[in-house]
Amino acid sequence: MIMAPEDYMAAQGDRLRIVADSEIPFLNGVFEPYASVRYIPGTRICREDCADADVLVTTTRTKCTRELLEGSDVRLIAAATIGEDNIDTQWCRENGIDIRNAAGCNSGAVMNYVFSALYGTASRKSISLKDKTIGIIGAGNVGSKVASVAMSLGFRVLLYDPPREKQEGSYGFVSLDELLEEADIVTLHVPLDETTRSMAGRDFFMKIKPGAFFINTSRGEIVDENALKDAAGKLGPLIIDTWSHEPNIDRELLELADIATPHIAGYSYQGKLNATSMAVRAVARFYSLEPLYEFFPQITIPELKAQQLDLRDKNQGEVAALLQYNYPIFTDDIRLRMAPDEFESLRNNYQLRGEFYTT
List CB contacts of 198: < 8 A, sequence separation 6 or more. 221, 222, 223, 224
Residues 177 and 316 in one domain: yes
Q: How many domains does the chain fold into? A: 2
Residues 77 and 200 in one domain: no
Name the pTM for this structure: 0.91
> Residue 337 pLDDT > 80, yes or no?
yes
> Does 282 reside within a domain?
no
The answer to whether residue 263 is catalytic is: yes
Using one digit for the tens of pLDDT, what is the confidence trace for 195-204?
Answer: 999 999 999 9
Which of 263, 281, 347, 353 is catalytic? The answer is 263
Residues 82 and 135 in one domain: no
Q: Identify the domain boundary among 101, 116, 134.
A: 101
C-alpha dist (Å) from residue 216 to 22, 143, 164, 225, 336: 27, 12, 20, 11, 16
Residues 119 and 90 in one domain: no
Q: Identify the domain boundary among 50, 67, 101.
A: 101
Residues 129 and 94 in one domain: no
Using one digit for the tens of pLDDT, what is the confidence trace for 40-94?
Answer: 999 999 999 999 999 999 998 899 999 999 999 999 999 999 888 899 999 999 9
| Inter-residue contact 266 to 110 (CB < 8 Å) | yes
The answer to whether residue 245 is catalytic is: no
Banded pLDDT at 15 (limits 50, 70, 90): confident
Banded pLDDT at 5 (limits 50, 70, 90): very low
CATH number of the domain enclosing 17: 3.40.50.720
pLDDT attached to residue 299 = 82
> Does 276 reside within a domain?
no
* SS3 of residue 90 by DSSP: helix
- Averaged confidence pLDDT in the chain: 94
> Does 323 reside within a domain?
yes
* Torsion angle of the four alpha carbons 323, 328, 332, 337, in this order, in degrees rounded to the nearest 10: 110
Banded pLDDT at 215 (limits 50, 70, 90): very high
Residues 254 and 145 in one domain: yes
Residue at 229: amino acid letter: K
Residues 161 and 60 in one domain: no
Q: Identify the domain boundary among 101, 123, 150.
A: 101
pLDDT attached to residue 294 = 97
Which of 23, 181, 246, 342 is catalytic? The answer is 246
**Percent of the chain scoring above 90 in pLDDT:** 91
Residues 24 and 127 in one domain: no
Using one digit for the tens of pLDDT, what is the confidence trace for 237-292?
Answer: 999 999 999 999 999 999 999 999 999 999 999 999 999 999 999 999 999 999 99
> Does 271 reside within a domain?
no
Residues 60 and 161 in one domain: no
> Does 304 reside within a domain?
no
Whole-number Å distance between alpha carbons of 54 and 150: 43
Which of 61, 100, 189, 219 is catalytic? The answer is 219
pLDDT attached to residue 83 = 82
Residues 14 and 146 in one domain: no
Say which residue, 301 or 185, is predicted with more confidence. 185
Q: What is the DSSP letter of 358?
A: E
Residues 199 and 346 in one domain: yes
Banded pLDDT at 137 (limits 50, 70, 90): very high
Q: Which domain holds residue 43?
A: 5-101
> Does 294 reside within a domain?
no
> Does 240 reside within a domain?
yes
Residues 169 and 239 in one domain: yes
> Does 252 reside within a domain?
yes
The answer to whether residue 189 is catalytic is: no
pLDDT attached to residue 9 = 46
Helix axes 269-286, 107-124, angle to 10 degrees: 160
pLDDT attached to residue 10 = 45
Looking at residues 330-340, what average pLDDT do you find?
A: 98
Whole-number Å distance between alpha carbons of 320 and 71: 53
